[in-house]
Structure 1
Amino acid sequence: MINYQYFQKSLNHLQAQFLNYQSLDPALPKLMQEAVAESVIQRFEVCYDCLWKVLKRYLVEVLGIPEIPNSPKPIFRLAAENNLLPSAVERWLDYAEARTHTTHDYSGEKAKACLSLMGDFIRDATALYQSLSKQTGK
C-alpha cells in the first residue's frame, strides 16, 4: 500500500508558503523577501522529491511495471505513457529541470524561473495527488 501522507504534507506546506510569497509586502526588507522565496524553493524541492518517489511506487505497485528507473525524468515519461499526468510530460520535465537547477543556487535567474513555475506545479501536483490517492481534497 502506498503512503501518500508525506506527499500530501509537503504539498500543503509548499502551497502555504507560496501563498505567503505571493502576498509579501514589497516594503519588507529584501533579506526577508529572499528568505521567503528560498523557503518556497526548498519546499518545492521536498514536494517534488516526494511526488516522483510516490509516482514510482504507483507505477510498480499499482500498474505492475517492473524495472522502473530510479530518477524522475524517466518516471515522468512512463507516467505520461500510462496517462497518469494531469498535464503534458514536457511540463513535468520543466519541473525536473527547475529542481536540478535550484539544488545549489537559490538566487538569480534560476530561482526566478523556479518560482515562476510554482502555480502550475502546485496545480499539477494537486491533481496528481488526487488522481493517485483517490482523494478529492488535500
Structure 2
Amino acid sequence: MSLILIPLQKAVASLELALQQPKNEFIRDAVIQRFENTYELCWKMLRRKLIEDQGEASVALLSRRELFRMGAEYGFIGDSQRWITYHRARNETSHLYDEKKAEEVYLVAVDFLPSAQALLDSLERRNDE
C-alpha cells in the first residue's frame, strides 16, 4: 500500500509560494496558516508511513516526541528535536495575539520548509517499498 501524498505535496508547494512573497503583515499571516496546515499533514503522513512500515502496535500510542524520534531513527526526518520545535510553534499559532509571537512563528515556518520538503522527498522515495 502507498500513501496518497498529493495533499502534502500541495501544502509544501503552497508554503513555499507564500515564503517567496515580499513579507508584510498579510503574507506573514498567510505563511503562518500554511505552516499550520503543512505541519499537520507532515506529522500525520509520517505517522501513517510508520504504521504502514512498523505496524500499528508500535506507533499508535507514541507521543509526538516519540513519533519524531522514531521518524528520525528510520530516516524519514533529520533532527527530531527540530520537529519538536515545529510542534511547539504550531501550538503557539492558536495563541497569536501579539506581533512578537507572530514573528517568532513566521521564522519557525521559514526554517520548517526545508524540513517539510525533505520529509516529503523521503516519503515519495519510500512510498512503494
Q: Does 1:118 align with 2:109?
A: yes
Q: Does 1:80 align with 2:72?
A: yes
**Residues paired across the two proteins, number:** 124
CA distance in 2, matches of 1:106, 1:69: 33
- 2:90 is matched by which residue type in structure 1? R
Q: Secondary structure at the match of 2:3?
A: coil
The aligned runs of 1:1-138 (5 Å cut-off) are 1-20=2-21, 23-24=22-23, 33-66=24-57, 67-69=59-61, 72-85=64-77, 87-105=78-96, 107-134=98-125
CA distance in 1, matches of 2:5, 2:97: 28
CA distance in 2, matches of 1:68, 1:8: 24
Q: Which has the higher contact order (CA 8 A, sep 6+)?
A: 2
Structure 2: runs of 5+ lacking an equivalent: none
Identity of aligned residues (%): 32
Give how far 1:80 is off: 2.0
Q: Is the 8 A contact 1:76 1:89 kept in 2?
A: yes
* TM-score (normalised: structure 1): 0.80
Larger radius of gyration: 1
Change (3 A) 1:70 1:7: farther
Structure 1: runs of 5+ lacking an equivalent: 25-32
* TM-score (normalised: structure 2): 0.85
Q: Is the 8 A contact 2:16 2:113 kept in 1?
A: yes
Give how far 1:108 is off: 2.0
